[in-house]
Structure 1
Amino acid sequence: MQKNPGAKTIEGDLEEALFHAGAVPEQDRGCPKRFDWARSARTDKGVSAVGQVVSGRFYVDPPGLVQRLNSILPPQIRIFGYKRVTASFNAKKFCDRRRYVYLIPVFALDPSCHRDRESVLASLGSENELVKCLECSERGRKVEGIMGKRNFDSKIGLDVGKLESGISSNNQDAGTTEEKIKDFSLGANNGGFDIEKTEEDEVLVQDVNQEEVKAIKKSDFRYGEEERERFNRVLQYYQGTHNFHNFTTRTKAEDPAARRYIISFDAKTTVNVEGIEFVKCEVIGQSFMLHQIRKMIGLAVAIMRNIAPESLIETAFRQDVDINVPMAPEVGLYLDECFFSSYNQKWKDSHEELSMQTYAEEAEDFKMQYIYSHIASTEHKEGVVALWLHSLNYRNYPDLRFINNNVNNDVESLGIEAKDGEK
């Protein structure tokens, strides 16, 4: 949900739809600043949204603005509705909390699932011997047909399908003449590019011998009480105000913007979509930096897979330490809701409450139809998370190797790069 010169974006499609629906006059077309355009949150390519909110000065007559907009927009981009707000309202500035959800497959938390080749070789002969993953080829590609619902075949070609792109909504009529400020609640499923399948992408799967049969069997790993308690304990390290300079890019530790406040982070429930069980990780914060949530999930998964110690999170908050933190794939992340608590409290006597409660049922339907199905189908077709797990090793992330629970020790003893003059 941000414009990118030369690229097709949801924000660009929405601006055009507003013009064609009569909400924006000809002289303001392509100039969002003229009608005070603002969005409550930005979402990068591949990241979806359900509770996005935008604001601006729009013409709403004749009645039926929401229907007109939805008739113009593609089905993956829907408008839930709009509400009148104060003249000074700005969707970004007045948003005091944002909730994001990351759907991580349960198998990603299984230490024995989708291990890298080095770990498999190192485990040979031990009590906890690992087996080669038959789902993923040595060339870093998803091999379909080995696990799940697909039938095993001797020759299996990759099916790297077309990623979806979009947003979702409500059919609620608009009314009155030109309004000073309107805010729209949106749902969005981002992405959008094609990958052609070539002969080189085809992978030959040889007959499975007895040693490899155990690799095909489903793991006994379950997201039970013990695993749930541990994962939530790990995620709670992020709560509070911390320096997240190691969980983003292009932001230095000395920059005040690196300090962010996380209100809550938990993973209490699971959801089954197209045969894949996902853990629903919900994080609420005032604001987030680029890649911050994906990196928080990435390190938490590494800890659950016993690749990194829990103490590494607190070490990563240190201003004098630089750590290469793994970043989870973008496909599982979506913006769930934007909150305007202070605004609602201040203007409760004269304006409607800004929340997703009015559109809760439609938003849930949209999640299942577009976002959840997209996340699951992408994992089935491309194995995005599975392949990422293969890269989650000490060769790619050497900073995960050290085990030291005393974060006050000298940084040199941690095996992590210390900044100049800060040893």
Structure 2
Amino acid sequence: REERGEEPSTVGKEGGDSAEREVEVEKFCDNVRWFHTFNRKTKLDRSHYRHMHEVSCGARLTNLGKSDGEKRLALRVTIQGESFMYHQIRHMVGLMIAAYRNMVPTNFISAVLSAPANVSLPFAPAHTLVLKDLNFLPFAREDFKNRDEDDKLEMTPAGKEIQQAFEVEQMLPALGSFVDHEDWSTFEEELKEWHGNLPEEQVAKFLATHETWSAALAKRKRERERGEMKERKELKE
């Protein structure tokens, strides 16, 4: 570790101008920080969160089938959600690759997603990222708040057949050429560098901090639920 220039985690102050109070930040390494306190600029609200409904990985390799007949096998990762942030999926895929290669433990993913965490993540190339499908709710009407959740715009069966044919005949072969793009080689080098800047000891401390925070969060949630149950019981009486 000494050869890699590892330094112990440090807790320092950031910010503190006339409009904002200082925040307490623990720096585990260059890529990993943890906010112990927040101010107005660093505190997260609902606008910072995105809903991921499903993340799945294919059980079999997909042949991207280049036009020259040569096989290009790839693993399909499907992410279903709403209101994605800029570059969000590329960071998610980069972190998935790092976890798959055992560069980080799987619980590192949960820690990264917690509110106090501030982590620089691997940045996967965009060349094989495809917007596969969209679902739209109906346009707003007077009874919009009382709408049926199943009342949404859907592609016709004929349209779905056209879409599937386009995917097999046009899209997959085109993606095959992108697998060989030089940006993937660049990503491999950047991923190695990113991993090299994550000392195992500091990652372990980061995960321990997240575990303590998660336990405290769960405790507060249980206490809040007990308080709400008590209030409802008193109202009934």
TM-score interval, smaller chain: 0.5 to 0.7
Is 2:183 the counterpart of 1:384? yes
Please tell me the residue identity of whatever aligns with 1:271. T
Please tell me the residue identity of whatever aligns with 2:76. K
Cα distance in 2 between the residues matched to 1:403 and 1:361: 48
Q: Which has the higher helix share?
A: 2
Correspondence for 2:124 among 328, 332, 354:
328
Correspondence for 2:211 among 377, 398, 408:
408
Q: Match of 1:272?
A: 63
Matched ranges for 1:55-134 at <5 A = none
Retained in 1: the 8 A contact 2:122–2:190? no
Q: CA deviation at 1:399?
A: 4.3
CA shift in 2, pair 1:356/1:308, >3 Å: farther
Q: CA deviation at 1:362?
A: 1.4
Q: Match of 1:260?
A: 50
Q: CA deviation at 1:281?
A: 0.8
CA shift in 2, pair 1:340/1:357, >3 Å: farther
> Normalising to structure 2: TM-score of the pair?
0.56
CA shift in 2, pair 1:345/1:353, >3 Å: farther
Higher relative contact order (CA 8 A, sep 6+): 1
Correspondence for 2:136 among 333, 340, 347:
340
Cα distance in 2 between the residues matched to 1:400 and 1:337: 40
- Structure 1 unaligned regions, length at least 5: 1-250, 411-423
Q: Match of 1:284?
A: 80
Retained in 2: the 8 A contact 1:307–1:400? no
Retained in 2: the 8 A contact 1:302–1:308? yes
Retained in 2: the 8 A contact 1:332–1:375? yes
Is 2:170 the counterpart of 1:370? yes
Q: CA deviation at 1:334?
A: 1.0
Find the residue that maps to 2:52 and give its secondary structure. strand
CA shift in 2, pair 1:267/1:260, >3 Å: same
Retained in 1: the 8 A contact 2:56–2:79? yes
Q: CA deviation at 1:259?
A: 1.1
Find the residue that maps to 1:271 and give its secondary structure. strand
Find the residue that maps to 1:284 and give its secondary structure. strand
Q: Match of 2:106?
A: 310
Cα distance in 2 between the residues matched to 1:329 and 1:299: 12
Cα distance in 1 between the residues matched to 2:189 and 2:197: 15
Q: Match of 1:354?
A: 154
Residues 221-264 of structure 1: CA distance to partner in whole angstroms, max 9, x if unpaired? xxxxxxxxxxxxxxxxxxxxxxxxxxxxxx96524221111111
CA shift in 2, pair 1:353/1:394, >3 Å: closer
> Normalising to structure 1: TM-score of the pair?
0.33
Q: CA deviation at 1:297?
A: 0.7
Retained in 2: the 8 A contact 1:295–1:327? yes
Please tell me the residue identity of whatever aligns with 2:61. T
CA shift in 2, pair 1:346/1:311, >3 Å: closer
Q: CA deviation at 1:390?
A: 2.4
CA shift in 2, pair 1:373/1:397, >3 Å: farther
Find the residue that maps to 2:179 and give its secondary structure. helix
Please tell me the residue identity of whatever aligns with 1:279. L
Find the residue that maps to 1:290 and give its secondary structure. coil
Cα distance in 1 between the residues matched to 2:138 and 2:199: 40
Residues 280-305 of structure 1: CA distance to partner in whole angstroms, max 9, x if unpaired? 11111122111111111110100111
How much identity, in percent, do the aligned residues show?
19
Q: CA deviation at 1:328?
A: 0.9
CA shift in 2, pair 1:396/1:347, >3 Å: closer
Q: CA deviation at 1:395?
A: 4.8
Q: CA deviation at 1:319?
A: 2.1
Cα distance in 1 between the residues matched to 2:85 and 2:196: 21
Please tell me the residue identity of whatever aligns with 1:398. N
Number of positions where the alignment pairs a residue of Structure 1 with one of Structure 2: 156
Q: CA deviation at 1:307?
A: 1.2
Cα distance in 1 between the residues matched to 2:199 and 2:168: 35
- Structure 2 unaligned regions, length at least 5: 1-40, 140-146, 214-237
